[in-house]
Amino acid sequence: MARITASVYTSHVPAIGAALDLGKAGEPYWQKVFSGYDFSKQWLKDNTPDVIFLVYNDHANAFSLELIPTFAIGCAAEFAIADEGWGPRPVPVVKGHPELAAHIAQSVIQDDFDLTIVNRMPVDHGLTVPLSLMCGQPQAWPCPVIPFAVNVVQYPVPSGRRCFNLGRAIRKAVASFDAPLKVQIWGTGGMSHQLQGPRAGLINREFDTAFLDQLIADPATLAQKPHIDYVREAGSEGIELVMWLIARGAMSDNPPKVAHRFYHVPASNTAVGHLILENT
Amino acid sequence: MALDKPYQDVPGTTIFDAEQSRLGYHLNQFCMSLMKAENRARFKADERAYLDQWPMTEEQKQAVLARDLNWCIRLGGNIYFLAKIGATDGKSFQQMAGSMTGMTEEEYRDMMIAGGRSIEGNRVVGEDGDAQPHRQPQGKSQQKAGA
């Protein structure tokens, strides 16, 4: 049987990808960000899974306003790197895991979550920046990746409670897959940031710290937090943090081992948060 | 009965909900077209002519020509779509976000390095934080100009 071994949480700021791609990673501004992932790169080498289930959001790249799926699961064998307007990032193509993805889709839809199945979906910085942070600049990503895109661009976005319960359904689906795969689930986006209007640049360290604490220790209560609290306290784009609850819901009910924790302000407009939790 | 929209009293913030999305549909789809290099080139060559191919309102076209992102957002634009205009102009997300505050690029960058904009006074309309309507635009040059 397949099982979820660990979860990884990280911001997915586009400027981080640009810094890496343009050779600026060594600059003091960026070194402060990347140093938080030194441990993580080694950890991933030591704990390479068979598949990564990567929860992220598309930023008007794969999905325009023609089609706005709340939850989209990538079931293809391969996913191209999106051109977001600056040209595609020079990173390896993303190989999928169609067998496990199709299995999860079948199981989770029967658990009453309406996933949209996608077989053609260019992946943007929301997916590639976490891979870059965790893997550096390899010739190929270390394992297949199942992209799972969540609408957090057009309101209403799914609630934290729904995301957390979806994570539980994904956990159940993975456990019923008939092959001994080690699966990691990554939740990305956040932390506090706002990219629009006179309130652009908002950062709320206190909110972010409390969110990290509660995500580790009491995610079921955290999942009850209403949208408006994210918008008001963490900025209009801080709402991305609901995606972390999908990854957390997929973890065992036992308290996790906190393998790594990191927080830094700023990367461009955003507070960078990062956690690695292992199932015990 | 009106829908509950508890986010309308957050200062300096427009939530891109179904209503804004409806208003901004053609504006945002125009932005999406700029993901293709040949469209970026056509837009740059004659912005007005390119915009006229889209069923946008005249005000939306003016907001794009003025590169006034706050104005675009009021008319239904969303920042992730509008970012395609910024990309066409060679601007980063930080330059785009900063442009909506009135601060210079340097002032905005310095605010971020110092820990970002404070939440204090910026939770609800009617407080006295720097994102409140009565304190716009922000930034030293703007304040001098307005004084």
Q: What is the CATH number of the domain that holds B75?
A: 1.10.700.10
pLDDT at B93: 86
Q: How many CA atoms lie within 13 A of A141 on its CB side?
A: 28
pLDDT at B146: 47
The tokens of A8 are what? 């990884």
Q: What is the CATH number of the domain that holds A109?
A: 3.40.830.10
- Can you tell me whether residue A272 is helix, strand or coil? strand
Per-residue pLDDT band at B144 (split at 50, 70, 90)? low
pLDDT at B145: 52
| pLDDT at residue B147 is higher than 50 | no
Q: What is the ipTM of this complex?
A: 0.94
Per-residue pLDDT band at B143 (split at 50, 70, 90)? low
A274 catalytic residue (yes or no): no
Distance from CA of B43 to the nearest CA of A (A): 13
- Mean pLDDT split into 10-residue runs, chain A, 280 residues: 97 95 96 98 98 97 96 98 89 98 98 97 98 97 98 96 98 98 98 97 98 98 98 97 98 98 97 97
Cβ atoms of residues A112 and A151 within 8 Å: no
CB pairs under 8 A between A and B: 160
pLDDT at A40: 98
Q: Give the distance from CA A241 to its chain's centroid.
A: 9
Angle between helices A160-175 and A98-110 (to 10 degrees): 120
Query: In total, how many domains does chain B have?
Result: 2
The verdict on residue B146 lying in a domain is: no
Same domain, B127 and B85: no
A55 beta partners: A148, A187
Owning domain of residue B133: 101-141
Cβ atoms of residues A186 and A7 within 8 Å: yes
Same domain, B21 and B84: yes
A59 catalytic residue (yes or no): no
Q: Do A200 and B98 touch (CB under 8 A)?
A: yes
Contacts of B97 in chain A (CB under 8 A): 194-196, 200-201, 269
Cis amide linkage into residue A266, ω under 30° from 0: yes
The verdict on residue B94 lying in a domain is: no
pLDDT at A217: 98
- Can you tell me whether residue A246 is helix, strand or coil? helix
Same domain, B79 and B118: no
Nearest to A14 by CA among B116, B96, B26, B108: B96
A81 beta partners: A123
Distance from CA of B123 to the nearest CA of A (A): 6
The per-residue pLDDT for range B58-76, each reduced to its tens digit, is 999 999 999 999 999 999 9
Q: Which is it for the CA torsion A155, A160, A166, A171, positive or negative?
A: positive
Q: Which of B20, B40, B119, B120 to mutate to test the interface with A (most CBs of A within 10 A)?
A: B119
Q: Do B112 and A265 touch (CB under 8 A)?
A: yes
Contacts of A244 by beta carbon, 8 Å cutoff, 6+ apart? A9, A187, A188, A189, A190, A215
Same domain, B21 and B56: yes
Distance from CA of B17 to the nearest CA of A (A): 4
| pLDDT at residue B139 is higher than 50 | yes
